[in-house]
Amino acid sequence: MNPKQIILLFLLIFTNITISSQTKQNLVLQKQIEKILENKKADVGISIIGIKKNDLTQINGDKFYPMLSTVKFQIALAILNKVQKGELSMNQKLFVKKEELLENTYSPFKKEYPNGNMSITLEEAIKWMVSYSDNNLTDILLRLIDGPETVQNFINSKNFVIKNDEEDMHKDWESQFVNKVTPNEAAHLLKKFNDKKLLNKENTIWLYNAMLNNKSGANRIKGNLSEKTKIAHRTGTSFTNDAGMTGAINDIGIIELPANNKKIFIAIFVHDTYETFENSEKIIAEISKLVFDYYNKK
């Protein structure tokens, strides 16, 4: 063998050892997560991207799960992309009509401004959507960018589907499950976002901070972690039917490790759960704490 062939052989051996070792470590973490899921009456999809190369732990990672309001992350990405291209401005005014503030939907904005008929900036509107999970503002923003198709085209992945806005999602039981994603797609999108491969530095930092200030889902990814831990996340929650089944209790996010500022990307989708709402959120919180402790020790 010539020197070049020897070097190539060494690289191949070293790469295989690294991947094999990483897979073994991920298998340990996966088994610990599966222990949490034992006897749980729910369909759970999980994807975790850790701090090293090829560091992926997954359970049902390539299976589709309904997104519910986690999709507000992807909607925000599509809007900020238009800001970046100069098609929209964060300072531009949006007039919120009273008739746009629908009843029977989650809307902190409507609660604070029940009569509407007022102007807010695009930046304020995105904050209402991302940080407060406001459904009415989400639909106003979707109309601004010509609907869900714009978001679908921007994400451009077969593992992500958005067809319904919030109003459509509230039409009947099945409609809330039309927008869907695989856990692996959700986690990888969070990483691409963090790596500034989707937005420029300015808009990445803006959206990251908006997600850090998310007011929903305190008992999910954040539930068992210190208040000092930085967690940028977006939750999603469905209705509960008469049989006591909740269609979706979700949380996706970025956890920053305090020791070295490295980040973990985590997507957890609890689907068709017959567990109590509290216990379903606890599933997410326990997995999040397990993952945090696993990587924080490293």
Active-site residue set: 69, 166
| Spatial separation of the C-alpha atoms in residues 205 and 271, rounded to whole Å | 31
| Spatial separation of the C-alpha atoms in residues 174 and 168, rounded to whole Å | 10
Per the listing, tokens 């326990």 go with 286
Per the listing, tokens 């049902």 go with 60
Closest CA to 161 of 64, 48, 270, 271: 64
Measuring CA to CA, how many Å separate 210 from each of 82, 206, 286? 18, 6, 24
| Spatial separation of the C-alpha atoms in residues 180 and 131, rounded to whole Å | 21
Measuring CA to CA, how many Å separate 118 from each of 97, 115, 121, 200, 205? 7, 8, 10, 31, 28
| Spatial separation of the C-alpha atoms in residues 218 and 239, rounded to whole Å | 18
Q: Is there a contact between 221 and 251 (Cβ–Cβ < 8 Å)? A: yes
> Can you name the residues that pair with 56 across neighbouring β-strands?
49
DSSP secondary structure string for all residues of 94-125: EEE-GGGS-SSS--HHHHH-TT--EEEEHHHH
| Spatial separation of the C-alpha atoms in residues 96 and 265, rounded to whole Å | 35
- What residues contact 203, with CB distance under 8 A and at least 6 apart? 80, 83, 84
